[in-house]
Amino acid sequence: MGELRFDGRVAIITGAGAGLGRAYALELSRRGAAVVVNDLGGSISGEGSSRAADEVVDEIRSNGGRAIADFGSVTDQNAMNEMAARVVSEFGRIDILVANAGIIRDRTFAKMGAADFEDVVDVHLMGTVRTVRAVWPTMVGQGGGRIIVTTSGSGLFGGFGQSNYAAAKMGIIGFMNVLKVEGAKSSIKVNAIGPMALTRMSADAMPEALAKRSHPNHVAAALVYLASDEGPNGVILNAGGGLYSSSRIVDSVGITVADENISAETVRDRWEEIANTSGERGWKNMSDYSRYLVEKIMSVS
């Protein structure tokens, strides 16, 4: 159980010009990785652009690390493809992708315009999809890779005023759940980080006492583990303020009924049994779940 090192490895981190992405870039570089700092450098809600990525690259280089900046937007498939091609020509490979870029436009659903919903989904969910699409063939060709996508407690549990963001963050979990299966034969592992840290994105939402305890470095430690050779596959690792936990989607034992004439009233009357949380289990993947379903359904007649 030695030190987790990344010498000779190449990592792309989207949204790495600030906040958590910056912390991930610095830590992966400190452990030997060549790092691609992608960031278009916009505002918290996604307007404008800046050279923020350059500053992180300068910081990494001044510490003796290898890094390049990329200013492409995750909303642009061509920009993501060009970034991946440039990384391969510069460094020869792509070992790690951290899909981290994000924006927020919080409002209750009743007041949220369609554009604010769609833009947030476009950056988080489709931005993750585009970046993965850009690196996937290289990882398959290499016979391995590590992808870390970014979820949020807001999606996992429901955050007021964030229906756009939460929908994207749970869509990302569905995406991960399939890639963890499809990538396995190429030794590509796909995991999700559920971070909590004081950044410009969270500054307004976080109580001061919690903010003081919530350094991005806590999250970077979890991220580095997921990016390593020893990391798991298909997990959600929550990290923030020094608390580390793993969320999973579970299923109650429920009831099984063979009678196809079962009534809505029976479902109502047995709701407590259906929803009973004792004995809840998670499933490794859809095949496991399907196997269980067949066995369970066939067990009653």
Instruction: Give me the least distance between CB of 295 and ligand NAI, in Å please.
Output: 37
Q: Which of 24, 165, 225, 292 is catalytic?
A: 165
Does 165 participate in catalysis according to the annotation? yes
User: What is the amino acid identity at position 229?
Assistant: D
Q: Which stretch binds ligand NAI (CB under 6 A): 138-146, 196-204, 227-235, 280-288?
A: 196-204
Q: Tell me: does residue 68 bind ligand NAI (CB under 6 A).
A: no
CA distance 139 to 145: 5
Strand order in the sheet with 67-70: 67-70, 34-38, 10-14, 96-99, 145-150, 188-196, 236-240, 243-247
Among 29, 37, 41, 94, binds ligand NAI (CB under 6 A): 41
Q: Taking CB under 6 A as the rule, does residue 14 contact ligand NAI?
A: yes
Q: Which of residues 11, 12, 18, 129 is near ligand NAI by CB under 6 A?
A: 18
Per CB under 6 A, the list member of 11, 17, 145, 239 interacting with ligand NAI is 17
Alpha carbons 211 and 74: distance in angstroms, whole number: 28
> Which residues 197-226 are close enough to bind ligand NAI by CB under 6 A?
197, 199-202
What angle, 0 to 180 degrees and rounded to 10, lies between the N-to-C axes of helices 163-182 and 286-298? 90
State the nearest-atom distance from the C-beta of 34 to ligand NAI, in Å. 19
If phi over 0 gives left and psi between -120 and 50 gives alpha, with beta otherwise, what is residue 8? left
Taking the C-alpha atoms of residue 108 and residue 189, their distance in angstroms, rounded to an integer, is: 35
Could you write out the DSSP letters of every residue in 287-298? Answer: HHHHHHHHHHHH
Residues that bind ligand NAI (CB under 6 A): 14-15, 17-21, 38-42, 44, 46, 52, 73-75, 100-103, 123, 127, 150, 152, 195-197, 199-202
Catalytic residues: 165
